[in-house]
Amino acid sequence: MPERRTVALVTLGCARNEVDSEELAGRLEADGWQLVEDAEDADVAVVNTCGFVEAAKKDSVDALLEANDLKGHGKTQAVVAVGCMAERYGKELADALPEADGVLGFDDYSDISNRLQTILSGGSVEAHTPRDRRKLLPISPAERQLAKADVALPGHADTAAPKDLPEGVAPASGPRAPLRRRLGSNPVASVKLASGCDRRCSFCAIPSFRGSFISRRPSDVLGETRWLAEQGVKEVMLVSENNTSYGKDLGDIRLLETLLPELAAVDGIERVRVSYLQPAEMRPGLIDVLTSTEKVAPYFDLSFQHSAPGVLRAMRRFGDTDRFLELLETIRGKAPQAGVRSNFIVGFPGESEGDLAELERFLTGARLDAIGVFGYSDEEGTEAATYTEKLPQDIVDERLAHIARLAEDLTSQRAEERLGESVEVLVESLDEEEGPLGRAAHQAPETDGQIRLTGAATADGGAGLQVGRMVVAKVVGTEGVDLVAECLGEAGR
């Protein structure tokens, strides 16, 4: 019997990319490929790139070069780029990085197995030709569901899944859905709620290579969540470019409010988390569901970006400091322990000292649990790249350092406010040195810190606990944004 071809998936970027990698993994394993964890053990290393900002693009290039260095020193014979950077730049990336044996776009995903086999056999696969993916679907959201069958949409599928799938590979939902194979055993997994974005923020290029907004049907999301629960997942995080728009192309902009309780009722799921929320699109009904539904985390990942009105208008966004603070007051009036995080851009073209002071006023009053701060940089193809009031780089760097220091102080203070709180913690790992580690409802994976559990229940390095267990704990200490909590026992439902 011939030896199975091996492939490793190296994933960079956001949770949406992680879901895409698991879809590629499902397709490949269903077609006979053997998945391996390390690129050095694979015939082909597939790097799922990020193309969001300059730093992410650099990380993607570094990962491709690192994988290329394995060729000739081990089993690795080919390195292939997929993902957002490959989709965005295509042939340009292939020309600039000849070390990559293939540059494949989203249109190649449905035939990924044959593409990799051709490359592995010494053949050539034409590099992806970029195009504005916003033009592939109708302008009217209501018409997109009928037209999507002719467009490659990672996370969506309209072709029947193969029969007799390998163990651990399943249609993420129903007979006509993307295949998915979990990469890892973390009790947390992301589920795509939608793909693409209809917003036109002047600094963002994502819609051009991710396309127009299109929702997945509730039955697909529910089916995938049930399948993940069968794989041992305890927390699902709903991801897309803009979750507050979910359902608008299905005829019901309030569809998320009815879907969340159904997801929370899936057997085996202990927590449902929603990410990527637009402040300008927040609805009272959605706030109510997020703050009052059992097993739905009162967690608000709100994309503020700034709070000075003039800067927000230049960004093609809406709001101001006072309206944002009123939104947070409404949320905390319903759920005082609610978690809130956001990202901000400083040094945007035309940003004045007064604008920066206005942002400081908002941050000081917002009591955010986690804050990401980025210095503005031009992104090709965006409106902001054409603006003339660019700030000198040293001013951008100075403002970035200043706001980043402020953010660190404020998030540490917010963590201290949680001393004495009772929290439900999902145990995610049993570290030999630190003991059991997990996250509470106000902490999303990767971005918002974690909780180190202590107490009698964690004796013997947490041997009495299990990964995936939900426990009740009392916050007794802080370590920056991270918390220390005394484990009181298993959470009761």
Domain holding 103: CATH number?
A: 3.40.50.12160
Q: Sign of dihedral through CA atoms 205, 208, 210, 213?
A: positive
Whether residue 231 lies inside any domain: the answer is yes
Whether residue 134 lies inside any domain: the answer is no
Whether residue 137 lies inside any domain: the answer is no
Are 96 and 115 found together in one domain? yes
Are 431 and 411 found together in one domain? no
Are 236 and 196 found together in one domain? yes
Whether residue 136 lies inside any domain: the answer is no
Which of 103, 129, 155 finishes a domain?
129
pTM to 2 decimal places: 0.92
pLDDT band at 458 (very low <50, low <70, confident <90, very high): low
Name the residue range of residue 82's domain: 6-129
pLDDT digits (tens, 9 = 90+) for 353-401: 999 999 999 999 999 999 999 999 999 889 999 999 999 999 999 999 9
Which of 390, 416, 442 finishes a domain?
416
Domain count within the chain: 3
Question: What pLDDT score does 437 carry?
Answer: 94
Task: Give CA–CA dist 456/474, Å, rounded.
Answer: 13
405: helix, coil or strand?
helix
For residues 169-179, average pLDDT: 65
pLDDT band at 69 (very low <50, low <70, confident <90, very high): confident
Question: What pLDDT score does 1 carry?
Answer: 43
Whether residue 233 lies inside any domain: the answer is yes
| pLDDT higher than 90, residue 451 | yes
Which of 357, 390, 416 finishes a domain?
416
Are 256 and 315 found together in one domain? yes
Residues contacting 71, CB < 8 A, separation 6+: 77, 78, 79
For residues 30-48, average pLDDT: 92
Task: Give CA–CA dist 288/271, Å, rounded.
Answer: 17
Are 381 and 432 found together in one domain? no
> 382: which DSSP letter?
S
Domain holding 156: CATH number?
A: 3.80.30.20
Task: Give CA–CA dist 313/202, Å, rounded.
Answer: 9
| pLDDT higher than 60, residue 484 | yes
Please check whether residue 33 is in contact with residue 63, taking contact to mean a CB–CB distance below 8 angstroms.
no
Nearest to 28 by CA among 108, 99, 86: 108
Whether residue 19 lies inside any domain: the answer is yes
Question: What pLDDT score does 168 carry?
Answer: 77
Question: What pLDDT score does 70 carry?
Answer: 84
| pLDDT higher than 80, residue 424 | yes
Q: Report the amino acid identity of residue 248.
A: K
Are 188 and 318 found together in one domain? yes
Whether residue 400 lies inside any domain: the answer is yes
Please check whether residue 106 is in contact with residue 154, taking contact to mean a CB–CB distance below 8 angstroms.
yes
Domain holding 451: CATH number?
A: 2.40.50.140
Residues contacting 174, CB < 8 A, separation 6+: 219, 220, 223
Question: What pLDDT score does 160 carry?
Answer: 59
For residues 271-278, average pLDDT: 97
pLDDT band at 176 (very low <50, low <70, confident <90, very high): low
190: helix, coil or strand?
strand
Give the number of C-alpha atoms closer than 13 A to the C-alpha of residue 337, restricted to the C-beta side: 14
Are 330 and 192 found together in one domain? yes
9-24: b or e for each residue (b if 16 or more CB lie within 10 Å)? Answer: bbbbbbbbbbbbbbbb
Are 478 and 330 found together in one domain? no
Q: Report the amino acid identity of residue 467.
A: V
Question: What pLDDT score does 172 carry?
Answer: 60
Please check whether residue 335 is in contact with residue 291, taking contact to mean a CB–CB distance below 8 angstroms.
yes
Are 264 and 149 found together in one domain? yes
pLDDT digits (tens, 9 = 90+) for 364-375: 999 999 999 999
Are 68 and 173 found together in one domain? no
Please check whether residue 273 is in contact with residue 290, taking contact to mean a CB–CB distance below 8 angstroms.
no
For residues 249-278, average pLDDT: 96
204 is in an annotated binding site: yes
Question: What pLDDT score does 173 carry?
Answer: 55
pLDDT digits (tens, 9 = 90+) for 109-157: 989 999 999 999 999 899 999 999 999 888 999 889 888 878 888 877 6
Are 57 and 172 found together in one domain? no
Task: Give CA–CA dist 261/363, Å, rounded.
Answer: 32
When comparing pLDDT for 54 and 418, which is higher? Answer: 418
487 is in an annotated binding site: no
| pLDDT higher than 60, residue 86 | yes
Whether residue 1 lies inside any domain: the answer is no
Are 433 and 411 found together in one domain? no
Question: What pLDDT score does 446 carry?
Answer: 83
Task: Give CA–CA dist 67/78, Å, rounded.
Answer: 9
